[in-house]
Structure 1
Amino acid sequence: MLAASDPYQGHGFTALTVILLAGTAALCGAVAFLCSRFTRQNRSARTPVAVWRDLALLSSAGGLALYLWGCLHLYLLDRQDRGTRCAYVDGVLQRPGAEATVGEFVPLRLVCRMPDGSSHTAVVPEYINPTIAVLLLLALAAGIVSLLLHRKRHATHRKAGRS
């Protein structure tokens, strides 16, 4: 339940700042690693394990980039803007100043609760959460394939070493 004294319980400025800074650093590291995979030396040494691992990392980086994009939308809003954005449902002004907001990080969204008990999301683009889910599932699948190929390769090498 929302306290009457603070109807705007959105995402904290400090938390969003930390997420944006740490996420940007992680994203830059992932992109730098992926770019290093395209050097002439690394291209010639590509294995199926490395390709699947890189696909998993690329999918994860894409999901992180989208999450940061959604966080940036929230970061640039102040309390007044949140109230204004929540007052509109599908572009139609409902009840200005009568709604409260609740911020959630997973899934990333700003939920606007109306006085009549209904709710809707605002600010974060609608495509962000479903796309992140698909990218993370792709990353998980590619990571599992990479792991299975890696184990298979090591099992084959161990058998060859015993002979």
Structure 2
Amino acid sequence: MASDPWQGHDVGGLFVGLFAGSTILMALTVYLGSRLSPGTLRRYTPSRVCRDVSLAAVAAGAVLYLWGLLHVLLTEEREQAEECAARRPADVPGLVGLRGDFVPLRLVCETPNGHDYHVLIPDYINPALAGLLLLALGGAAASGLLNRARRRAFTGRKA
């Protein structure tokens, strides 16, 4: 039931995330692996390096996100509630609910005074995902700009 305050993550959403993340990870692994052949390595340009660094950052992000999803999936609801109770701050008399967020990935223990806290998902997951997202976006932008500059230089057009 959607109004249940002790809901946590939706199991269907967890399985969709695991399937989609695994599929993306496999596709990126195959693609990036194909880029390591000797013939391909000789044709590398700065634009292609930036593109592949960006894709490698996406693959690393997929691994981290899947790791976080597995933490939630492999922990029963009772164990999640016990973890919330065990990590409850001393000044909090009790808990009013449990909420699962997918972005950022976290399991939130809700308190009556509004000072919610998260448990179960390792603390390094979300900051690492943010850093990898910035690396992926930076690599994609650099690749696009370098490729555009190369094409303009090749055709002889001015910027």
TM-score by length of 2: 0.89
Deviation at 1:116, TM superposition (A): 4.5
Listed one character per residue, the Cα deviations across residues 6-59 of structure 1 (whole Å, up to 9, x for unaligned) are 231211001100110111011011011111111111111111111110000001
1:33 and 2:31 matched? yes
The counterpart of 2:46, out of the listed 16, 34, 48, is: 48
Structure 2 counterpart of 1:81 = 79
Cα distance, 1:90–1:58 mapped onto 2, change above 3 Å? farther
Task: Give every structure 1 segment of 4 or more consecutive aligned residues whose post-TM-superposition deviation is greater than 6 Å.
Answer: none
Cα distance, 1:148–1:102 mapped onto 2, change above 3 Å? same
Structure 2 counterpart of 1:122 = 119
The answer on whether the counterparts of 1:107 and 1:129 sit within 8 Å (CA) in structure 2 is yes
1:20 and 2:18 matched? yes
Comparing 25-34 with 75-84, greater Cα deviation is found at 75-84
SS at match of 1:102: strand
Query: Pairwise CA RMSD of aligned residues?
Result: 2.1
Structure 2 counterpart of 1:69 = 67
The counterpart of 2:150, out of the listed 141, 145, 153, is: 153
Deviation at 1:91, TM superposition (A): 9.6
Residue identity over aligned pairs, in percent, reads: 39
The answer on whether the counterparts of 1:66 and 1:128 sit within 8 Å (CA) in structure 2 is yes
Any gaps of 5 or more consecutive residues in structure 2? Answer: none
Aligned residue runs from structure 1 range 135-150, under 5 A: 135-150=132-147
Deviation at 1:117, TM superposition (A): 3.8
Any gaps of 5 or more consecutive residues in structure 1? Answer: none
Paired residues in the alignment total 155
Deviation at 1:119, TM superposition (A): 1.6
